[in-house]
Amino acid sequence: MADQDAQTPVGIEPPALSVLRWDEPPEGPSVVLLDQTRLPAEEAELVCADVPALVRAIRTLAVRGAPLLGIAGGYGVALAAARGEDVAQAAVRLEGARPTAVNLGYGARRVARAHRAAVESGTGPEAAAAVALAEARALHQEDAAASGRMAQYGLDLLAELLPEGGGHRLLTHCNTGALVSGGEGTAFAVALKAHREGSLRHLWVDETRPLLQGARLTAYEAGRNGMPYSLLADSAAGSLFAAGEVDAVLIGADRIAADGSVANKVGSYPLAVLAKYHHVPFVVVAPTTTVDLESVDAASIVVEQRAAAEVTEFTSVVGAPSGGGAGGTAVAPLGTQAYNPAFDITPPELVTAIVTEEGVISPVTGVGLAELCARSSQV
């Protein structure tokens, strides 16, 4: 059933998405975002002219996804520097906007460090701000390059893991494409490369309750790239596995602990359990900037808890002007409490492989991860 609905021919590529850019109009610098709360209905820009506006955009998921949060954190610090504000304080505020994706703090701290080093070496405020901006741009470009390398490693891995013939039927969760990256993303970039090279038979897209990153964003990206895809309710994944329709699961990550535990969008862990039961590879694709060797294991990862309204209402994000979390239609009795973690944690023994820009580890071990990270800091 999966191979009947290819959409547009392979080889026609849409224009690149402008997901996040630095702008310097006469009225002052800003970070300009593609407002992801308005997709897919509208491709609207959101201009963040100061750090509080960017923090708001991060909290409401106008900008989201681990690698892009790192890039946003970096430009946010550059923005504070350009405005002559307290850069260290801006970095702390940005890092605190969301707790789980480690890239956010990585980006903010990295740019703040570059700025501080410039100031300490006697560089004046304007030149130090230029150093901060250059560092944010470098981070942005590195992420784009990492994305291309992960796509290649991921595709090579699929060729090793899966039998030849017929093409891959891949299941993905949340959104991991160009909307979360300086390049074409993490897990989604692997599926996209497979599509371009003719080896994607079908992409199964989990809708990703409660904020529907799969339905709103991954389906949007798959459609604009002409990929053959279908959307499913998260709870339909089990019967899809049982029907033998999934060859591999590909997901991204928000933080990978030193032992290989993977924090990713809530709903990832149940997929890993299903994949194990059905002997299907469960592959995590993430840059080494998502590995946090200071988080020893699952217990050291803070999982963001979000508002009950995201579960008790339909739906707080779609079309809400960068204000996800407000103004939905109630679907539960007034006053209903909710359990709404944004992420869950998959233990390393359920992960077949982790694909990074530095290579692949399989099986997933702490030693293997540490080696990959050492390689990346040597470059």
Q: Report the catalytic residues.
A: 254
Both tokens of 317, joined, read 């994000």
265 is in an annotated binding site: yes
213 is in an annotated binding site: yes
- Residue whose CB is less far from ligand MRU, 66 or 240: 66
Give residue 28's region: left, alpha or beta (phi > 0; psi -120 to 50). Answer: left
* CA angle (235, 169, 281) in 5-degree steps: 75
Both tokens of 289, joined, read 């900037």
Q: Cα separation of 106 and 18, whole Å?
A: 22
- Residue whose CB is less far from ligand MRU, 61 or 219: 61
Give the strands of the sheet with 262-265, arranged side by side. Answer: 291-292, 255-257, 262-265, 343-346
- Residue whose CB is less far from ligand MRU, 116 or 224: 224
Distance of closest approach, residue 180 Cβ to ligand MRU, in angstroms:
4
378 is in an annotated binding site: no
- Residue whose CB is less far from ligand MRU, 114 or 344: 344
Secondary structure (H, E, C), 94-111: HHCCCCCCHHHHHHHHHH
65 is in an annotated binding site: yes
Which candidate, 75, 77, 79, places its Cα nearest to that of 93?
A: 77
Distance of closest approach, residue 48 Cβ to ligand MRU, in angstroms:
17
Contact 293, 256 (CB under 8 A): no
Query: Could you say which DSSP state residue 329 is in?
Result: E
Q: Cα separation of 67 and 186, whole Å?
A: 9
Distance of closest approach, residue 252 Cβ to ligand MRU, in angstroms:
3
109 is in an annotated binding site: no
- Residue whose CB is less far from ligand MRU, 115 or 357: 357
Residue whose structure tokens are 């392979």 = 10
Q: Cα separation of 110 and 112, whole Å?
A: 5
Write out the DSSP string of 26-54.
TT--EEEEE-TTSTTT---EEEE-SHHHH
- Residue whose CB is less far from ligand MRU, 66 or 80: 66
Which residues are near ligand MRU by CB under 6 A? 61, 64-67, 101, 174, 176, 180, 185-186, 213, 252-254, 264-265, 342
* Alpha-carbon 228 to chain mean position: 21
248 is in an annotated binding site: no
- Residue whose CB is less far from ligand MRU, 176 or 312: 176
Distance of closest approach, residue 291 Cβ to ligand MRU, in angstroms:
13
Distance of closest approach, residue 279 Cβ to ligand MRU, in angstroms:
24
264 is in an annotated binding site: yes
Q: Cα separation of 39 and 170, whole Å?
A: 23
| Nearest residue relative to ligand MRU (C-beta) | 252
* CA angle (199, 143, 41) in 5-degree steps: 70
Sign, CA torsion 235/240/243/244: negative
Known binding positions: 64-66, 98, 213, 264-265
Known binding positions for substrate: 64-66, 98, 213, 264-265
